[in-house]
Chain A
Amino acid sequence: MTQAEFLNIVMPFKDKVFRLAKRLLVSKEEAEDATQEILLKLWNNKQKISEYKNVEAFSMTMTKNFCLDKLKSKHAQNLKIVHSNYQDKNVSLQKQVELNDSVDWVSKIMEELPEQQKIILQLRDIEQYDFEEIGKMLDMNQTAIRVALSRARKTLREKLTKTHSYGVK
């Protein structure tokens, strides 16, 4: 397999890998490193790629496991990644600033969710995978995914309502 062929396979989902890594690891740099690592792993096992039924799902599973391992070792070292370099792609004006602020809040609240809910919310609401694919990636049945997703969405909404009405009520 040549580099070009490999890149053709990998290109469509490398951003998804990166975003999932960033969701879990929070820091952009860490997420970039993790993505590089994942892609290199895929490249080194390029002979086996044709054997995988779904390279994308496989890579997402790999990313999830890799990031969780990384987090575990970070916790063991008693090191916390505190980070918030959210890129602002704001167009302009007061309204946008205000909106960005609340958008920031969303990501902060998402950080507080349990890991599994975080992953499911990421895969469903941001990457728009269907339940079947998510089930394959996480090795879970679909009802469990729906339940976790519903919980995550509700928590997100409740906490957001609280921050929105903060100082008003």
Chain B
Amino acid sequence: MVLNSIEKLIEKYENGETTLKEEQQLKDYFSQETVPPHLEVYKSMFQYFLYTHEEQFTKDVPLKSKKTYSLYQWISVAAVAVIMLGIFTQIDFKSQSRTLADLTPQERVEYEEAKEVFTLVSSKLNQGSENLMALNMVSANFDKGADNIAYLGEFSKKTNKFLKTN
């Protein structure tokens, strides 16, 4: 009776018409110890299905939150780039000092003119300082004059005393 229904189920099963419930019935039936010899084939099939279902994935999965990590990475890269750029431009400015040979003709003319003006100013400046020397001499003589005036003061004091006593 039971066997009959199992055989029917197997036929349905082979035609791919069984539901999941019916398939579970078959699996339950074939997990028992003894089955009729002509169904032995199915037993190994269903046992295999059951036992493969037990197999598990045991390896670890290395999960890293990559997103934030890469953001920091990019920021550091940007920072390094900025620093490098800064150093590079600094070096560049230093190496930009030019020599006389680099000047264009017009610039050279201007340069010469400026040079002449400066020499003129400096020579006049020296003349001015000579005039100042004369002024210095005057002030020195002036001091001498002041000393003589002091003598004169002393002299007048004495004469006053003399006049008082008389």
**A107 CA to B52 CA in the complex, in Å?**
9
Question: B48, A106: Cβ atoms under 8 Å?
Answer: yes
Interface residues of B in 8-58 (CB under 8 A from A): 13-17, 20, 23-24, 40-42, 44-45, 47-49, 51-57
Question: A43, B57: Cβ atoms under 8 Å?
Answer: no
Known: A32-B59, A126-B53. A153 touches B44 (CB 8 A): no
Question: B53, A157: Cβ atoms under 8 Å?
Answer: no
Interface residues of B in 43-100 (CB under 8 A from A): 44-45, 47-49, 51-57, 59, 61-63, 65-66
**A7 CA to B128 CA in the complex, in Å?**
94
Interface residues of A in 45-99 (CB under 8 A from B): 87, 89, 99
Question: A164, B52: Cβ atoms under 8 Å?
Answer: no
Other-chain contact of A157, B20, B42, B59, B66 (Cβ < 8 Å) = B42
**A6 CA to B65 CA in the complex, in Å?**
12
Known: A44-B66, A128-B20, A157-B14. A36 touches B45 (CB 8 A): no
Note all chain A residues with C-beta closer than 8 A to B23. Answer: 125, 128
Question: A130, B16: Cβ atoms under 8 Å?
Answer: no
Interface residues of A in 145-166 (CB under 8 A from B): 145-147, 149-150, 153-154, 156-157, 160-161, 164
The smallest C-beta distance from B19 to any residue of chain A, in angstroms, reads 8
Note all chain B residues with C-beta closer than 8 A to A156. Answer: 45
How many interface residues does B have (CB within 8 Å)? 29
Question: A43, B14: Cβ atoms under 8 Å?
Answer: no
Note all chain B residues with C-beta closer than 8 A to A3. Answer: 63, 65
Interface residues of A in 15-46 (CB under 8 A from B): 15, 17-19, 22, 32, 35-36, 39-40, 43-44
**A106 CA to B44 CA in the complex, in Å?**
7
The smallest C-beta distance from A129 to any residue of chain B, in angstroms, reads 8
* Total inter-chain residue pairs, C-beta < 8 Å: 81
**A161 CA to B40 CA in the complex, in Å?**
9
Q: Does A141 count as interface, using CB distance less than 8 angstroms? A: no
**A145 CA to B17 CA in the complex, in Å?**
11
* Chain B minimum-CB-distance residue to A159: B41
Note all chain B residues with C-beta closer than 8 A to A87. Answer: 55
Other-chain contact of B57, A32, A102, A107 (Cβ < 8 Å) = A32
**Chain B interfacial positions (CB closer than 8 Å to A):** 13-17, 20, 23-24, 40-42, 44-45, 47-49, 51-57, 59, 61-63, 65-66
> Can you list 29 A-B pairs with a CB-CB distance of less than 8 A?
A3-B63, A14-B57, A15-B55, A15-B56, A18-B55, A18-B56, A19-B52, A19-B55, A35-B59, A36-B61, A36-B62, A40-B62, A40-B63, A43-B63, A87-B55, A89-B54, A102-B44, A105-B44, A106-B44, A106-B45, A125-B49, A128-B24, A150-B15, A153-B16, A157-B14, A157-B41, A157-B42, A160-B41, A160-B45
8 tightest A-B CB contacts, nearest first: A18-B57, A150-B16, A102-B44, A106-B48, A146-B16, A149-B16, A103-B48, A39-B61
